[in-house]
């Protein structure tokens, strides 16, 4: 039965998530400076359009339609195209749990499209001024059609094989953040290989001096925080008490991480804390809480945020020492590392009482009533240990899939376009 209140909330949540595509572009423009602004905003607009078309025609079915084998949904399932008023529950192989939210199929599509759009925006921050825009446009089409939807079908489709093993990822710690980092790493590797080849021809990619605009960075950071309420709280897929709890856990983790990260920066650097530091700290908390936002209490979320601030500082310092790639926005050190830590922590700090409150109930299981076990810190015992193993296995499999398929795609694109490195970014090696 269609529930208009839930539809209204998920539509609003989808709009909030879509603003994150804009906000990632603003954050990138703010960190890199005016010289990159036009290209960054153009790239953000292309991402929105490309992901919308290819996710509708191919990716949405693969991710969320009935999957008989647990690996990929039926790409030819056409209900949303032939009948826009269809109930979203028809997208799933069973209707024991999912579908009680009463969502229209197109509303659910728009919500999920916003996710893939912002995921592509995250991947794109490693393009900088080095990759041909045509090459990225082709990659974005493939990512929207296959690379993102297939892991989504493993984890979020109740007939997916990882879902059947008991893996949980509330709002995308693995499906969004870890997978985006893995795809970004594939871009780094391809650029690295091409750069080495170009050196033999006496050419290198010119280094750019980034001039941050802290006003833009601050606005982008606050807009991302705002959008994350749609990202996390919207993932409840209905408007109830659990929605409010998720909004609280999101707030507490972001606040805890921001305070921790900025305090560490102040102590270690003995310098003034910048707007960029505050933004990076809040993002650390938002990323690490994403996979568990509906599974923990607001109090636990504060401590998760503290850990996120510390983990991001250490990760950032470690990756800064690596000189073979540029990652000025922190896709690998932030989204990749913290997304993995967040998914790993579920088996330690998850609480069944909160998962029930947020309606976590995969619908494909024979009993129709599965609830997340308590984590090890809450006397979860063997069930918690099993969950930790499944979460780690799932994160590794998704990361490997996203990296390998992205790298193969980039290799093919490079062959077609005679490389993905933008010619205008090349300069002769100085004698």
The H or E element that residue 384 is part of is helix 381-417
Is residue 291 within 8 A of residue 173, CB to CB? The reply is yes
Q: What is the pTM of this model?
A: 0.93
Place of tokens 């009533």: 369
Place of tokens 């050419």: 203
Sign of CA dihedral 283, 31, 121, 44: positive
Distance between CA atoms of residues 391 and 108, nearest Å: 25
Quickly count: other Cβ atoms within 10 Å of residue 120's Cβ. Answer: 28
Distance between CA atoms of residues 210 and 146, nearest Å: 34
Task: Give the pLDDT confidence score for residue 349 in this predicted structure.
Answer: 97
Residues of the chain with pLDDT under 70: 34-36, 81-82, 84-85, 88-100, 270, 323-325, 360-371, 431
Nearest to 399 by CA among 319, 353, 337: 337
Sign of CA dihedral 221, 222, 224, 229: positive
Task: Give the pLDDT confidence score for residue 92 in this predicted structure.
Answer: 58
Distance between CA atoms of residues 234 and 12, nearest Å: 8
Distance between CA atoms of residues 300 and 141, nearest Å: 39
Q: Domain span at residue 229?
A: 4-428
Nearest to 396 by CA among 317, 339, 315, 326: 339
Place of tokens 């090890």: 376
pLDDT tens-place string over residues 51-98: 999 999 999 999 988 777 889 988 888 777 667 667 766 665 444 455
Task: Give the pLDDT confidence score for residue 158 in this predicted structure.
Answer: 80
Quickly count: other Cβ atoms within 10 Å of residue 367's Cβ. Answer: 6
Is residue 234 within 8 A of residue 261, CB to CB? The reply is no
Distance between CA atoms of residues 30 and 259, nearest Å: 22
The tally of domains found in the chain comes to: 1
Distance between CA atoms of residues 233 and 421, nearest Å: 39
Is residue 265 within 8 A of residue 277, CB to CB? The reply is yes
Quickly count: other Cβ atoms within 10 Å of residue 200's Cβ. Answer: 7
CATH number, position 158: 1.10.3430.10
Is residue 330 within 8 A of residue 316, CB to CB? The reply is yes
Nearest to 345 by CA among 258, 280, 260, 285: 285
Measured at the alpha carbon of residue 169, what is the angle toward residues 281 and 258, in degrees to the nearest 5?
10
Place of tokens 């193969």: 408
Is residue 319 within 8 A of residue 271, CB to CB? The reply is no
pLDDT tens-place string over residues 240-281: 999 999 999 999 999 999 999 999 999 987 678 899 999 999
Task: Give the pLDDT confidence score for residue 294 in this predicted structure.
Answer: 94
What would the two tokens of residue 32 be? Answer: 């890199």
Measured at the alpha carbon of residue 120, what is the angle toward residues 114 and 125, in degrees to the nearest 5?
130
Distance between CA atoms of residues 183 and 355, nearest Å: 30
Is residue 90 within 8 A of residue 82, CB to CB? The reply is no
3-state secondary structure of 92: coil
Sign of CA dihedral 122, 126, 127, 129: positive
Q: How far apart are the first and last CA of the chain?
A: 72
Task: Give the pLDDT confidence score for residue 414 in this predicted structure.
Answer: 96
What would the two tokens of residue 351 be? Answer: 């609480």
């Amino acid at each position: 039965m269609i529930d208009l209140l839930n539809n209204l909330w998920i539509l609003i949540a989808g709009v909030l998530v879509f603003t994150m595509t804009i906000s990632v572009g603003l954050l990138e423009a703010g960190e890199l400076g005016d010289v990159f602004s036009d290209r960054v905003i153009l790239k953000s607009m292309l991402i929105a359009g490309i992901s919308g078309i290819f996710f509708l025609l191919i990716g949405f079915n693969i991710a969320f339609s009935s999957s008989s084998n647990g690996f990929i949904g039926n790409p030819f399932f056409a209900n949303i195209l032939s009948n826009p008023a269809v109930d979203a529950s028809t997208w799933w192989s069973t209707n024991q749990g999912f579908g009680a939210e009463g969502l229209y199929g197109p509303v659910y599509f728009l919500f999920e499209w916003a996710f893939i759009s912002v995921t592509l925006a995250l991947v794109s921050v490693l393009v900088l001024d080095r990759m041909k825009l045509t090459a990225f446009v082709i990659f974005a089409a493939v990512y929207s059609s296959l690379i993102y939807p297939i892991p989504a079908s493993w984890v979020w489709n109740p007939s997916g094989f990882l879902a059947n093993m008991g893996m949980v990822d509330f709002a995308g710690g693995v499906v969004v953040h870890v997978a985006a980092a893995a795809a970004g790493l594939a871009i780094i590797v391809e650029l690295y290989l091409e750069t080495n080849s170009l050196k033999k021809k006496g050419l290198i990619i010119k280094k750019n001096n980034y001039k941050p605009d802290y006003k833009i960075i601050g606005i982008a950071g606050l807009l991302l925080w705002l959008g994350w309420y749609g990202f996390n709280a919207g993932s409840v897929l209905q408007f109830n008490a659990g929605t409010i709890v998720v909004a609280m856990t999101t707030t507490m983790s972001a606040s805890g991480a921001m305070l921790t990260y900025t305090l560490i920066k102040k102590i270690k650097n003995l310098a003034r804390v910048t707007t960029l530091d505050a933004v990076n700290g809040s993002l650390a908390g938002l990323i690490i809480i994403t996979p568990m936002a509906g599974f923990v209490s607001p109090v636990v979320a504060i401590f998760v945020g503290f850990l996120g601030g510390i983990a991001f500082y250490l990760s950032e310092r470690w990756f800064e020492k690596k000189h073979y790639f540029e990652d000025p926005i922190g896709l690998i050190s932030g989204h990749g590392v913290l997304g993995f830590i967040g998914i790993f922590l579920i088996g330690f700090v998850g609480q069944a009482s909160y998962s029930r409150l947020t309606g976590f109930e995969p619908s494909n299981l024979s009993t129709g009533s599965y609830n997340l076990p308590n984590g090890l810190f809450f006397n979860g015992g063997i069930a918690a240990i099993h969950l930790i193993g499944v979460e780690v296995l799932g994160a590794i499999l998704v990361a490997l899939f996203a990296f390998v398929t992205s790298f193969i795609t980039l290799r093919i694109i490079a062959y077609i376009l005679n490389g993905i490195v933008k010619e205008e970014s090349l300069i002769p090696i100085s004698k």
